[in-house]
Amino acid sequence: MSDIKLVSAQEMLTKAKAGKYAVAQININNLEWTKAVLTTVQELQSPIILGVSEGAGKYMCGFNTVTAMTTAMMKTLGITVPVALHLDHGSYEGAKQALADGFSSIMFDGSHYGIEENIEKTKEIVALAYAKGVSVEAEVGSIGGEEDGVIGGGEVADPEECKKIADLGVTMLAAGIGNIHGVYPPNWTGLNFEVLAKIQELTGTMPLVLHGGTGIPADMIKESISLGVSKINVNTECQLSFAEATRKYIEAGKDREGKGFDPRKLLNPGYEAIKATVKEKLELFGSVGKA
């Protein structure tokens, strides 16, 4: 098992684009989260991208700790499906740090810069990453909602700008099409498939990324995949199912029964809930059996 290692997201996404399915990016927050995702993808023989935001990286004691934990866990668990460890919404400095700390894929989110500065910085990050065999996700038109204190307004990307960034040779491209991080508000108007189709037309074989996967109805997910989306990010939905299962356990007084307070027991319902959510997403995205 000595060849078990993290891989770039390039190959899994090229296959997904050609095969008309999407690889899930599931964000991780701690050891239990990582173990829940890794064991589920191995059971279902699915490729996976583990997303780590800069905030989650700090929480887990730095990207170096995340890399060490993930690779050690993959070896111990005998994980043979393709796993990419991916920086989610990386800043310019954060992207460089993740590269230094052994991530196999990075997102450089230059969407808050003007398009020219976004292009310059993306170019630099692409050169640094490709020298290490690391895949790169770029973003055009910020994704709405709140993530790690960054708030956007459900923006829609300009397809021409998407083409400019895609032409820099990035591995995958995130483009805002009315998607939002977190739970969708009741007055959400849905995804803009007209813009997605235009972006797909201009960027050809480039795998497109859909952020804000939590709560997007199944028919919209399917339609996105048919229009070139090959990577879908999910974070909040696992957090909600983890919290719900943990709350039920406590409310049922199970932590007060016997050794129910033992963290290995207390966190188990949440762990199982994450596994169930991940399974549901992999089935919906069509990546089961595609490892």
| Interface segment toward ligand 13P; rule CB under 6 A; list 12-20, 126-134, 210-218, 223-231 | 210-218
Residue 65 zone, left/alpha/beta (φ > 0; ψ -120 to 50; rest):
alpha
213 binds ligand 13P (CB under 6 A): yes
- Among positions 181, 198, 281, 290, the unique one binding ligand 13P when judged by CB under 6 A: 181
Stretch that binds ligand 13P, among 67-75, 160-168, 197-205, 208-216 (CB under 6 A): 208-216
**Footprint of ligand 13P on 20-39 (CB under 6 A):** 27
Q: Which of 54, 88, 109, 137 is in the footprint of ligand 13P by CB under 6 A?
A: 88
The piece of 3-11, 91-99, 230-238, 253-261 that touches ligand 13P (CB under 6 A) is: 230-238
Determine, following the binding rule CB under 6 A, whether residue 97 of this chain makes contact with ligand 13P: no
Asked whether position 171 contacts ligand 13P by CB under 6 A, the answer is: no
169 binds ligand 13P (CB under 6 A): no
The set of catalytic residues is: 88
Query: Which contacts qualify for 63-71: CB closer than 8 Å, 24 or more apart?
Result: 63/87, 63/97, 63/98, 63/101, 63/102, 63/103, 64/101, 64/102, 66/28, 66/101, 67/6, 67/101, 67/102, 67/103, 69/31, 69/34, 70/6, 70/34, 70/38, 71/4, 71/5, 71/6, 71/102
**Count of alpha carbons within 13 angstroms of residue 78, beta-carbon side:** 1
237 binds ligand 13P (CB under 6 A): yes
Nearest partner of 103 among 140, 144, 57, judged by Cα: 57
Q: Tell me the C-alpha distance between 155 and 142, whole Å.
A: 6
Nearest residue (CB) to ligand 13P, 235 versus 241: 235
**Please, how many CA atoms are within 13 Å of residue 259, restricted to the half-sphere of its CB?**
5
Helix, strand or coil, per DSSP, at residue 138: strand
Question: What is the pattern of x (binds ligand 13P, CB under 6 A) and - over residues 39-78?
Answer: ------------x---------------------------
* Residues near ligand 13P, by CB under 6 A: 27, 51, 88-89, 181-182, 211-214, 233-237
